[in-house]
Amino acid sequence: MAATRCRDGDLVRRRSRAGRALGGLLLAAALTGCGQGPVAPASPPPTPGGPAVAAPAQVTAPPDAGVAGVPALTASPPEQRFGWQVAAVTAADLPHSWRPGCPVGPEDLRAVTLTHHGFDGQVHEGVLVVHEDVVEPARQAFAALFEQGFPVRSVVPVDAFGGDDDASMAANNTSGFNCRPVVAAGGGGWSQHAYGRAIDVNPVENPYVLAGEVLPPEGAPFTDRSVQRPGMLTAGSAALRAFTSAGFTWGGQWRNPDYQHLQR
Per residue in 166-188, pLDDT (tens digit) is: 999 999 999 999 999 987 766 67
On whether residue 138 sits in a domain, the answer given is yes
Quick one: average pLDDT of 195-202? 98
On whether residue 245 sits in a domain, the answer given is yes
Per the structure, the complete domain to which residue 220 belongs is given by 77-263
User: Between the CA atoms of 245, 178, 113 and 18, what dihedral angle is there, to the nearest 10 degrees?
Assistant: -140
At residue 161, what is the residue type? F
- Which pLDDT score is estimated for 20? 53
For the chain, the domain total comes to 1
Buried b (16+ CB within 10 A) or exposed e, 89-119: beeebbbbbbeeebebebebbbbbbbbbbbb
On whether residue 225 sits in a domain, the answer given is yes
On whether residue 36 sits in a domain, the answer given is no
Sorting pLDDT into bands at 50, 70 and 90, what band is 75? very low
On whether residue 68 sits in a domain, the answer given is no
Q: What is the pTM of this model?
A: 0.74
Q: Where are the beta strands (DSSP E) in 63-177?
A: 84-88, 109-117, 123-131, 154-155, 173-174
